[in-house]
């Protein structure tokens, strides 16, 4: 019965280029008339997902249903969707009218009907007097409008938009956002919008699908995504945030940054390790007084237009980003306070690195396609499958790729107040998570080593 309002459903969709998995088990449904945004950093698989829905790629695994019909292997020209491409992809040899009429002419509609329909969409995108213009003579924003008109004139069930505003400057982008939103309301069809711009996603969408590493991290309304991020990736990617390691002491009491905070989250086990998110605008900053929950010293202060963005190091040694309308000078000791409602506690996805491995001999274990030395144990027999675990802070990174046992690329850096939590992609597929105090850059190529005594082996 839910099926009747879902215009697109994607079930267990996976895709890979060569042996590199780009999408893993994607499940998603889009309702009729809904504005859904797929949001994620570049390389997260969002464009691949859209190209699969558009039919430009053939799905390797899973099922795509559009308008209640199975369309997984249907070629693009037979799907009831139309696409607005990233770089517009207007046909340069045709003028504005001919571009928009392209789809209608293929359907062999009578001339008068085509004329009428083109006129109508030109009015929707406010480009009435441009019919005879060459597309190359139009500005970026105007080309974008023609591209949208060319897609919606075919009255698709769903309009796919692949980063349609990426090539426009900021001011133009904001204007077009409003226009796209208005168009969505007027047309009443579903929009599936792909972007890496979180602000754009928050502004436009009914629902946001946050993606990273080929997986859906969270699906929710803009306010849910912002206020209740499902994990530290979402919290970090959407807006600014302070993310810290914490321990849930009891219901509504969490310890983090060396302090205890009242909060509103419950249902955790006692002493469960958690991630704590505090948005920089939710920390009150004021001259030191009795009202302070904790205190710190301002280490930097930058004017950002609407507010000042300040970094404050607390006396416990943790760094917080704080946004406030008032400026506090660098070097000043300030009082800080956070209300229980503004503390968001999230379950940790993992507490340490775990790998599937096999025993090689008494003192060696194989995982991540590599043989590692490990503490000797007599009850190991070769070729048994085991679970290997390595703590985040027991992984050593080297500047040079050639040092260490493994090569990797740093993919994601999360600042946890007093240390960095890195996601490192090993040999293109596997992940190692590393806690470190050293500063690395996204995309750095590194060597990885794990000391034998840090490798913990348990039976699978």
Partner 1 sequence: MIKRILSSSYLGLLLVLLYAPILIIIIFSFTEAKVLGNWTGFSLKLYASIFQGGIHHSLSSALWNTLIIGLIAAFAATILGTMAAIGIHNLQPRSAQAIKMVNTIPILNPDIITAISLFLLFVSLGISQGYTTVILAHITFCTPYVVLSVLPRLRRMNTNLYEAALDLGATPFLAVRKVLIPELKPGMISGFILAFTLSIDDFVVTLFNIGNEGLETLSTYIYADARRGGLTPELRPLSAIIFMTVLILLLVINRRATKKKL
- Chain positions contacting partner 1, by CB under 8 A: 54-56, 75-77, 81-83, 85-93, 102-103, 106-107, 150-151, 154
d(CA 274, CA 421): 14
**Residue 370: closest CA among 447, 266, 280:** 447
Q: Whole-number minimum distance, CB 177 to partner 1, in Å?
A: 22
**Token pair recorded at residue 118:** 């083109």
Minimum distance from CB of 89 to partner 1 (Å)?
4
Pick the closer one to partner 1 by CB: 30 or 230: 30
Decide whether 92 or 317 has the Cβ nearer to partner 1. 92
Which stretches within 305-375 are classed as H helix? none
Question: In the complex with partner 1, which residue's Cβ is closer, 76 or 258?
Answer: 76
Kindly give the pairing relationship between strand 456-459 and strand 385-390. Answer: antiparallel
Shortest Cβ distance from residue 105 to partner 1 (Å)?
Answer: 9
Which residue's structure tokens are 């008068």?
112
Nearest approach, Cβ of 72 to partner 1 (angstroms)? 17
Instruction: State the nearest-atom distance from the C-beta of 6 to partner 1, in Å.
Output: 22
Q: Nearest to residue 360, comparing CAs of 343, 381, 339?
A: 381
**Distance, C-alpha 416 to centroid of its chain:** 18
- Closer residue to partner 1, CB minimum distance, 59 or 406: 59
Residues contacting 382, CB < 8 A, separation 6+: 359, 360, 361
Closest approach of Cβ 195 to partner 1, in Å?
A: 17
Q: How far is the CB of 337 from partner 1 (least distance, A)?
A: 52
Query: At what angle are helices 140-152 and 170-187 packed, to 10 degrees?
Result: 20
Please list, residue by residue across 120-153, b when 16 or more beta carbons sit within 10 angstroms of its beta carbon and e when fewer do: ebbebbebeebbeeebeebebbbbbbbbbbbbbb
Token pair for 457: 């082996």
User: Toward partner 1, which CB reaches closer, 127 or 374?
Assistant: 127
Spatial separation of the C-alpha atoms in residues 65 and 60, rounded to whole Å: 15
Task: Pick between residue 150 and residue 407 the one whose CB is nearest to partner 1.
Answer: 150
């Amino acid at each position: 019965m839910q099926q009747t309002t879902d215009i697109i459903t994607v079930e267990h969709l996976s895709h890979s280029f060569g042996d590199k998995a780009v999408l893993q088990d994607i499940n998603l449904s889009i309702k009729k008339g809904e504005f859904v945004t797929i949001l994620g950093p570049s390389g997260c698989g969002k464009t691949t997902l859209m190209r699969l829905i558009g039919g430009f790629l053939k799905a390797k695994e899973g099922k795509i249903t559009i308008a209640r019909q199975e369309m997984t292997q249907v070629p693009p020209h037979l799907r009831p969707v139309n696409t607005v491409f990233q770089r517009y992809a207007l046909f340069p040899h045709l003028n504005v009218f001919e571009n928009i009429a392209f789809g209608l002419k293929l359907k062999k509609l009578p001339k008068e009907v085509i004329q009428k329909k083109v006129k109508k969409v030109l009015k929707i995108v406010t480009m009435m007097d441009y019919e005879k213009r060459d597309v190359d003579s139009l500005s970026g924003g105007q080309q974008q409008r023609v591209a949208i008109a060319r897609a919606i004139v075919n009255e698709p069930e769903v309009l796919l938009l692949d980063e349609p505003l990426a090539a426009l400057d900021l001011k133009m982008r904001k204007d077009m956002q409003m226009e796209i939103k208005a168009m969505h309301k007027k047309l009443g069809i579903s929009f599936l919008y792909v972007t890496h711009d979180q602000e754009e996603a928050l502004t436009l969408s009914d629902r946001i699908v946050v993606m990273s590493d080929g997986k859906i991290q969270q699906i929710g309304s803009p306010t849910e995504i912002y206020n209740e991020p499902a994990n530290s990736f979402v919290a970090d990617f959407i807006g600014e945030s302070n993310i810290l390691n914490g321990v849930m002491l009891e219901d509504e009491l969490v310890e983090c940054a060396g302090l205890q905070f009242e909060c509103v989250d419950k249902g955790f086990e006692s002493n469960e390790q958690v991630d704590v998110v505090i948005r920089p605008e939710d920390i009150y900053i004021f001259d030191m007084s009795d009202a302070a929950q904790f205190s710190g010293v301002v280490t930097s202060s930058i004017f950002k237009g609407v507010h000042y963005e300040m970094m404050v190091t607390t006396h416990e040694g943790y760094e917080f980003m704080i946004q406030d309308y008032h400026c506090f000078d660098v070097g000043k000791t300030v009082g800080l306070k956070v209300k229980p409602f503004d503390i968001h506690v999230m379950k940790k996805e993992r507490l340490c690195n775990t790998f599937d491995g096999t025993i090689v001999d008494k003192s060696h274990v194989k995982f991540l396609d590599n043989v590692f030395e490990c503490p000797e144990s007599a009850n190991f027999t070769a070729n048994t499958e085991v679970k290997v675990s390595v703590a985040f802070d027991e992984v050593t990174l080297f500047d040079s790729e050639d040092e260490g046992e493994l090569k990797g690329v740093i993919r994601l850096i999360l600042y946890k107040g007093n240390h960095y939590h890195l996601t490192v992609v090993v040999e293109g597929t596997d992940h190692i998570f590393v806690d470190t105090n050293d500063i690395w850059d996204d995309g750095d190529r590194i060597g990885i080593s794990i000391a034998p005594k840090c490798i913990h082996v348990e039976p699978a």
